[in-house]
Amino acid sequence: MASRLSFANITALAPMVRVGTLPMRLLALDYGADVVYCEELIDIKMAQCRRVENEVLQTVDFVAPDDRVMFRTCEKEKQRVVFQMGTADPDRALAVARLVEKDVAAIDVNMGCPKEYSTKGGMGAALLSDPDKIEAILRKLVSGVSVPVTCKIRILPSLEDTLTLARRIEKTGVAAVAVHGRFKDERPRHPVHCDYIGAVARAVAVPVIANGGSLDLVKTHGDIQAFRVAAGASSVMLARAAMWNPSVFRSAGPLPLHDVMIQYLKYALRYDNHAFNSKYCLCQMLRDKVESALGKRVQAAQNNQELSEAFDLVGVFEETQAALEARRDALQSPERLRDHVIAVDGDVTTMALKFQRREYPPQLTPKMFLLEWSRRQKLEQPTYQTCAHPLQVQRAQDRAFQSTVTVENRKYRSSLWEKSKKFAEQASAVVCLRARGIPESHVGQENGGRPHKRKTEDGRDVGQEKRTKQTGDGERETGGS
């Protein structure tokens, strides 16, 4: 069993909205950060997510009902990544923490962000005025998860009130407290109050992580220790200094920004980071050079290929895409899919499979294969029972469905949620076919496996030119993997 993460005498990448995604976290670790925090993720959104092991990217993804990846992590950072959530509800906080705890090193609660997206609903810095709720959330988390729990606060106008809050937080059993040395209504242009941070550090026994020194105190790696001493804290957390050039964590000194940006983009390509998020992070690094020739090319880019072109990394982009596509093809082979993990949920056989429309030719679907097989076996026609995601009762926009198919009084279902009832039924048919080892081939088709796997020498599907524009039973093709 891995040792618990320690927050004593560390340097950390602070949580930053839109910046603290996987490529930036990995880059910070490469350059010497001891711990990295993800961006603040709201509990309500995370509670809707399903955990997906992305075998193509070799990541663990937490995916919303609309298929957006809310949080992506990988083995490389597992022992050093802290999941920060925005929450104002102890029960919901615990549900989210339990969802992610096996894939992260610690859980952090944001109690310091003064921005509206964080404070609405009583989250972020709004919690500072409700110490009872702070205590309830932290106690619930500390007693309910197996990983360390921390929180990040801002200082209160009164030093006495700040120390009282810090002591109360310590009594909940947290592993550390990060202190942003500014008041709720202060912004980065205001000086950081190192005296408050030092007073908190002296008042509690748990490690205190100093935050807020990027503008005034931390310009290079050598300044990190000076900030630590000035704040009297055990550890230091960097936000904007790391956002501008993550090689600030490098003990040997910072690297040229262009080299850092290239390494960032390589990670972004490797882990399929959303192009707009990558563009945002690159623009933050460019700062006052965002209107340069390079900056304009970055701003104009609409996808990862165009970002790669801006940095003359087309070859890297193509190699990365080819490697991912090769891994995807290998994972989608009939032999590999037949080996997919089968589980039993009550009396239902389940597999974590989605219906990928592009894998089937027009007019042929898993439901058709299953129906045809049932007729050949002289069985009753398969029956489908479909249900909506429970959250649809509360949020009509969360359209997600699961379906259970019954064949020979045995039930089959995908453990993943689909966007539509039709796709959910198709997914359950896929599970039935794979679990029972039924070939997904049409009557009269000589070779087993799905027809799209048969290729001509030039790589085209057999019968590609014969295909019509029809879409089988009416479903549209879906993109993505």
CB contact at 8 A, 428 and 403: yes
Q: Which two tokens stand for residue 402?
A: 């699961």
- Kindly give the pairing relationship between strand 106-111 and strand 81-86: parallel
Distance CA 16, CA 24 (A): 10
Q: Classify burial at 292, counting beta carbons within 10 Å of its beta carbon; exposed 0-12, middle 13-18, buried 19 or more.
A: exposed
CB contact at 8 A, 374 and 480: no
Active-site residue (options: 113, 151, 194, 432)? 113
Phi, psi (deg, nearest 5) at residue 71: -150, 130
Terminal C-alpha separation, the chain:
33
CB contact at 8 A, 283 and 66: no
Select from 457, 430, 409 the least CA-distant residue to 350: 430
CB atoms within 10 A of CB 390: 10
CB contact at 8 A, 459 and 386: no
Q: Which two tokens stand for residue 155?
A: 């200082």
> What b/e string do you get for 22-50 counting C-beta neighbours within 10 Å, with b at 16 or more?
bbbbbbbbbbbbbbbbbbbbbbbbbbbbb
Phi, psi (deg, nearest 5) at residue 283: -65, -35
Q: Which two tokens stand for residue 457?
A: 């020498």
151 as an active site residue: the answer is: no
Q: Classify burial at 179, counting beta carbons within 10 Å of its beta carbon; exposed 0-12, middle 13-18, buried 19 or more.
A: buried
Distance CA 229, CA 30 (A): 25
Catalytic positions: 113
